[in-house]
Amino acid sequence: MTSLDLTDAARRPFTGRRVRFGDVSLQVVAGTAAAAATVLVGLIVWKVVDGARPAISHEGVQFVWRIAWNPVLGREVFGAASFLFGTALTSLFALALAAPLAMGIALFLSELAPRGVRAPVTALVETLAAVPSVVIGLWGIFVLGPALQRYVEPALHSVLGFIPLFGPPGSAGPSIFTAIIVLTMMILPIVSSISRELFLGVPHELKEGALALGSTRWEMVRGVVFPYARGGIAAALILGLGRAVGEAIAVTQVIGGGVFIHWNLFDTGDTLASKIAESFQGAASDLEVSALFYLAVILLVFSLLANLTAQWIVWRVARAHGISRGGHA
Amino acid sequence: MSTTIEPTVRVETTRRQPMPPRERLEAIFQVDGLDAIYSGKTAVKGVSMEIYKNLVTAIIGPSGCGKSTYIRCFNRMNDLIPGFTQTGTIHYHGQDICGSNIDPVAVRRNIGMVFQRPNPFPKSIQDNVAWGLKVLGMKDNLDERVERALTRAALWDEVKDRLKASALSLSGGQQQRLCIARAIAVEPDVVLMDEPASALDPIATQAIEQLMHDLKSEYTFVIVTHNMQQAARVADMTAFFSISQGEEGSRWGELIEYDATEKIFTAPSDKKTEDYVTGRFG
Amino acid sequence: MEGLAWLAAAIAIAFLVLIVWSVARKGASELNLDLLTKGPAVTFLSTAKVGLANAFAGTIVIVGLAIAMALPVGILVAVYLNEFAPASIRNGVSLALDVLNGVPAIVIGIFVYGLFVLGHGQSGLAGSFALACLMLPLVARSTMEVLALVPNSLREAGLGLGIPQWRTTLSIVLPQTIGGIVTGTVLAVARVAGETAPLLFTSSIVGTQTSWNPRHALQSIPVAIFELSESPDPADHARAWAAALVLILFILFASLGGRWLATRSRTRMLSR
């Protein structure tokens, strides 16, 4: 073995804080990326508002409660009210249908299903989330819509026709009802998977305690699981609502369009998101495009509100249950 | 004060070389009034001592007395913990390595560390030792350097035929010796050991103790250990830390006594030391 | 009560099965090699569209560019948040990423329209950027998760040796996360490959030629399905089903594959 020069370790310099080029570079580059991601959110808000500016100055704030959409040059008047109504109608009904289904599925997968069934069924439900909205819309146009129109809508109308919701079915295929069913399918996976995780996160001791006192499975669920997961379920529902509000493609394919406010689910209608998708390509003027931006502003406000509210709830629940966000071990 | 006591620990004098007389000892670290503070809570207070070159210095004491925190001050590893500050100085070859103008990375090149749980890189055995050398610019005679480090870590014979195998395929004791080889390959001055054998079986422990004994002529070792017998076997100087309490339940670690190992274990000056080494507490 | 839960699960599965069954049945009959390789041809007498090669090519280009845009940025964001950022910045940027994740795809579409298309025209690049905005939070989040799984002892090992933090992060920590990054990317691709809304605004006005040039608007499979589904011609509907079949097969493959990769790499990391 050759004799190796032993460097005198003490003679290595270590004074003078050398700012390492590598450390600074990595931090700067990575930090820029993080800043860019944050700025992007602000940029989105700014750009969408900016695009809406001509319409805002033309229509003012009355846009929000006006029922109109006339792009004819020289007589333009636009309003969001009918679309707001459509969005509210479709999303709330979809949530109302999806919530119990999602709770049922979440309970099934966390408490009731036999062990071997849980993983495959969970995978199946999550796969439903993976189906692209345009494919669901396609199916909605050619399979679901006609089926609902032929069988379900007349049946419901004949039985419950006294309620304005279940008025005479429209002559053409598309309807708000089809859109509601489609939206229900689309938000079901997200609400159920969040709920499932919540139910799985309920501490064993709490559940076993209830069972040890002699309660039935269902009583335990009602008395322990639901209260514990209450906050998280609220967040899940809000996220589902946000998803439904923002869905454009599948809805526009099945809802038919129209600028009016009525309660008949079996007739056509329109939502904020679907109006934007539908009118964009045929937009007659810059002003109409700007009006679509205006619709997008309203949509953005809603979804930001929904998202931030859900985040806030999650944060509060996490604090109560002692979990924190991110960071390394 | 009793002149000699019956310690629970027999001080092994046969295996150890006698320590040079005090006058000939060269101080490599001079610690002055060191306080280590985590987010406002003092963990270690007011430590002043000298650590001598080419000796094995052990730091012993009950759990929670700040031994690990203290040793990590020497290579600025506590910098990684958010909210950590320290006051006081540690002079190393005349420079205060706690200063804000000091580059911690350069400090760590001179002062290496072996951790409580073996943490080899997920690379081959050879690359574990070689990679550090390559990155730190010691690429000449790479294979020889690797072999030398592994030999000094008493691992060469066991791995020389499978240098390309994954380091994670080694046993715990072997992995820890690999970590020692990795640390000494980059030619530090000092090797800090934070309870290096606590996760190992007695035979692996003995291998590591023997290693320290054989290598101390070239390196200075500072070892934290909760095992008194180990300190007695291996250390020339021993520092005993204990927990002090203040008002409102605040607790911190303090250096109680620091002397030649034999003295600490046979005729300690402080009652707290005596209580600890005779097993009356801790 | 239990019966209702079973029923709910059955309904969800029924939905999925119904859709997949319809797509499979109606799409398979129309699916042939011509669909994939030939572009839509406009003959003298009718717009007899033969195939959708332009849509397949366009999707490959647009999604590929989206990955190229989102992946490096997503990884860097995750590295910054996990290795460097103080808690307050980490929480803030994490929140921004979660908000970004919740922005509806159609708003992203109109945003990119306002940013890049107005005044310049549509392009595959603009479409890629829109998809990248959708992918970014997914890639960043999954990379962060897998970075957090790398044990701190490994970072200490590198730093204790006197190796600077940037080198330790790039050479020791990041290589451990490659499996997780791949998984996250696959799942993100599964998510955006089927997105129509962003592309409607940025890359939908196309000719019938098969183009691979992202500086012009490129046709994509989801937009093609959307347009074909709205057309009055039943032959178009058949083509829409076939394209939907290919799309759904790809997405299911990527989605399930990504999930399998995720469980596999997670068990590997935890058993180390």
Residue B208's CB is within 10 A of a number of other CB atoms, namely: 23
Alpha-carbon gap, residue A141 to A138, rounded angstroms = 5
> Letter for the amino acid at A204?
H
> Which chain B residue has its CA at the smallest distance from C164's CA?
B105
**The token pair that represents B271 in the structure block:** 């009652």
Q: How far does B105 lie from chain C, in Å, by closest CA?
A: 5
Residue B11 lies in a domain: no
Specify the long-range contacts of residues B36-43, CB closer than 8 Å, at least 24 apart: B36/B66, B36/B69, B36/B70, B36/B73, B36/B78, B36/B84, B36/B86, B37/B84, B37/B85, B37/B86, B37/B87, B38/B69, B38/B81, B38/B83, B38/B84, B39/B83, B39/B84, B40/B83, B41/B250, B42/B250, B42/B252, B43/B69, B43/B252, B43/B253
* HSE of B148, CA atoms in CB hemisphere, 13 A: 18
Residue C6 sits at the vertex; the CA angle it makes with C3 and C7, to the nearest 5 degrees, is: 85
- Angle formed at CA C134 by CA A142 and CA C96, multiple of 5 degrees: 135
Burial of B26 (0-12, 13-18, 19+ CB in 10 A): exposed
Give the pLDDT score at A8: 47
* Residue C104 pLDDT greater than 90, yes or no: yes
Does the distance separating the beta carbons of A126 and C16 come in below 8 Å?
A: no
Would you state the structure tokens that stand for residue B150, as one six-digit string? 């592994």
Q: Residue C100 to residues A276, B109, C72: CA-CA distances in angstroms?
A: 20, 43, 17
The answer to whether residue B282 is domain-embedded is: no
Task: Tell me the backbone φ, ψ of residue C196, rounded to 5 degrees.
Answer: -100, -45
> What does residue B55 show for φ and ψ, rounded to 5 degrees?
-120, 165
Q: Which residues of B touch C151 (CB under 8 A)?
A: 119
Residues on C contacting B at a C-beta cutoff of 8 Å: 86-87, 151, 153-164, 167, 171-172, 176, 272
Please indicate whether, in this complex, the C-beta atoms of A277 and C200 are within 8 angstroms of each other. yes
pLDDT at position C130, please? 96
Answer yes or no: are the C-beta atoms of B103 and A18 closer than 8 Å: yes
Percent of chain A with pLDDT over 70: 92
CA proximity to B186, closest of B281, B77, B108: B108
Domain that holds residue A179: 69-321
Nearest to C20 by CA among A178, A143, A151: A143
Amino acid A179 reads: A
Q: List the single best residue of A3, A4, A12, A14 to mutate versus B (max B Cβ within 10 A).
A: A14
Q: Where are the alpha helices (DSSP H) in B88-225?
A: 104-110, 125-135, 142-152, 156-159, 172-185, 202-215
Does a structural domain hold residue B207? yes
- The two structure tokens encoding residue A71: 């792009």
- State the CATH number of the domain containing residue B198: 3.40.50.300
Which residues from B are below 8 Å from C161, CB to CB? Answer: 108-109, 112, 132, 136, 182-183, 186
The least confident of A233-247, B101-115, C2-16 is: C2-16
Which tops the pLDDT comparison, A137 or A17? Answer: A137
What per-residue confidence (pLDDT) applies to C270? 64
Q: How confident is the model at residue A6 (pLDDT cuts 50, 70, 90)?
A: very low
Number of compact structural domains in chain A:
1
Contacts of C155 in chain B (CB under 8 A): 80
Collapse the DSSP code of A78 into the 3-class scheme (helix H, G, I; strand E, B; otherwise coil) and give the result: strand
A172-197 average pLDDT score: 91
Query: How far apart are the C-alpha atoms of C74 and B204, rounded to whole Å?
Result: 44
Contacts of residue B95 in chain A, CB cutoff 8 Å? 14-15
Whole-number CA gyration radius for chain C? 22
Q: Which pLDDT does position A328 carry in this prediction?
A: 37
Q: For chain B, 282 residues long, give each residue's pLDDT as a single digit of tens.
A: 445 666 566 565 545 567 777 777 888 999 999 999 998 889 999 999 999 999 999 999 998 888 999 999 999 999 888 889 999 999 998 888 888 888 888 899 999 999 999 999 999 999 999 999 999 888 888 999 999 999 989 899 999 899 999 999 999 899 999 999 999 999 998 999 999 988 888 888 988 899 888 898 899 999 999 888 899 899 999 999 999 888 888 888 999 999 999 888 888 888 888 888 888 765
| CATH code reported for the domain at C31-271 | 1.10.3720.10
In chain C, domain spans: 31-271
Chain A within 8 Å of C48 (Cβ-Cβ)? no
What whole-number distance in Å separates Cα of residue B208 and Cα of residue B215?
A: 11
Q: A118 and chain C: CB distance < 8 Å anywhere? A: no
> C67: distance to nearest CA of chain B, Å?
28
pLDDT of residue C43: 41
Checking if the pLDDT of C271 tops 80, the result is no
| Integer Cα distance of B78 and C156 in angstroms | 11
Instruction: Kindly state whether residue A25 falls inside one of the protein's structural domains.
Output: no
The neighbouring-strand residues paired with B41 are B38
Give the β-pairing of A69-70 and B84-92: unpaired
Residues 130-159 of B with CB under 8 A from C: 131-132, 135-136
Interchain contact, C12 vs A128, CB within 8 Å: yes
Measure the CA–CA gap between A285 and A239, rounded to whole angstroms. Answer: 35
- The verdict on residue B211 lying in a domain is yes
Closest-CA distance, C79 to chain B, in angstroms, reads: 16
Contact pairs from chain B to chain C, CB under 8 Å: 63
pLDDT in tens, C241-258: 888 988 999 998 898 888
**Cβ–Cβ gap B110/C176 under 8 Å:** no
**Region of poorest pLDDT, from B218-232, C97-111, C129-143, C198-212:** C198-212
Nearest-CA residue of chain B relative to A19? Answer: B103
B169 touches chain C (CB under 8 A): no
C181 pLDDT tier (thresholds 50, 70, 90): very high
**Residue B160 counted as domain residue:** yes
For residue C202, give both structure tokens.
């940025």
Is residue B3 situated within a structural domain? Answer: no
Q: Which of A32-46, A216-230, A231-245 has the lowest mean pLDDT?
A: A216-230
Within a domain: A298: yes
Q: How do beta strands B27-38 and B237-245 pair?
A: unpaired
- Number of structural domains (chain B) is 1
Measured in angstroms, the CA of B204 and the nearest CA of chain C are apart by 20
- Of the candidates C153, C163, C272, the beta carbon closest to that of B117 is on C153
Min distance A3 CA to chain C CA atoms (Å): 23
Q: Which amino acid is at A18?
A: R
C249 near A CB under 8 A: no
Closest B-chain CA to A15: B102
Residue A41 lies in a domain: no
A132 CB within 8 Å of a chain C CB: yes
pLDDT in tens, A47-93: 999 999 999 888 888 888 888 888 887 778 888 889 999 999 999 99
Long-range contacts of the stretch A61-64 (C-beta < 8 A, 24+): A63/A291, A63/A294, A64/A298
Q: Say if the Cβ atoms of B82 and C86 lie within 8 Å.
A: yes
Range of weakest confidence among A158-172, B36-50, B260-274, C63-77 = A158-172
Can you state the percent helix, strand and coil of chain C, rounding each to 5? 80, 0, 20
Question: Which chains pack against A, by 3+ Cβ pairs within 8 A?
Answer: B, C
Average confidence (pLDDT) over A162-186: 85
The contacts of residue C14 (CB under 8 Å, 6+ apart) are none
Q: Does A306 touch chain C (CB under 8 A)?
A: yes
Report CB contact under 8 Å: A16, B145.
no
CB contact under 8 A, C272 and B186: no
Per-residue pLDDT reduced to its tens digit, A255-264: 988 888 888 8
- Asked if C171 lies within 8 A of B82 by C-beta distance, the reply is no
Residues of chain A contacting residue B145, judged by C-beta atoms under 8 Å apart = 4
Partnered with residue B222 across adjacent β-strands are B57, B192
Q: In the Cβ-directed half-sphere of C221, how many Cα atoms lie within 13 Å?
A: 28
Q: Which of residues 186-245 of C touch A (CB under 8 A)?
A: 190-191, 193-197, 200-201, 204-205, 222, 225-226, 229-230, 237, 240-241, 244
Q: Tell me the chain C residues in contact with residue A33 when contact means C-beta distances shorter than 8 Å.
A: 72-73, 76-77, 80
B175 exposure class (CB count in 10 Å sphere: 0-12, 13-18, 19+): buried
DSSP code, position B163: T
Average pLDDT over residues A154-171: 79
Asked if B151 has any chain A CB less than 8 Å from its own CB, the reply is no
| Residue of chain A nearest B110, judged by CA positions | A9
Each residue's pLDDT tens digit, A100-152: 999 989 988 888 888 888 888 888 888 888 899 999 999 999 989 888 888 88
- A41·C11 Cβ contact <8 A: no
User: What is the C-alpha to C-alpha distance for residues C22 and C108, in angstroms, rounded to an integer?
Assistant: 30
Those of residues 125-164 in C touching chain A at CB distance below 8 A are: 133, 136-137, 140, 144, 147-152, 164
Comparing CA positions, the residue from C245, C253, C252 lying closest to residue C31 is: C245
**C160 → closest Cβ in B82, B112, B122:** B112
Which residues is B102 bridged to in the sheet?
A: A15
Beta-bridge mates of residue A78: A69
Domain interval for residue B77: 26-277
Q: Write the single-letter amino acid at C179.
A: G
HSE (CB half, 13 Å, CA atoms) of A220? 21
Residue B127's nearest CA partner among B172, B159, B152, B173 is B159
CA B273 to centroid of chain Cα atoms:
20
Is residue A3 over pLDDT 50?
no
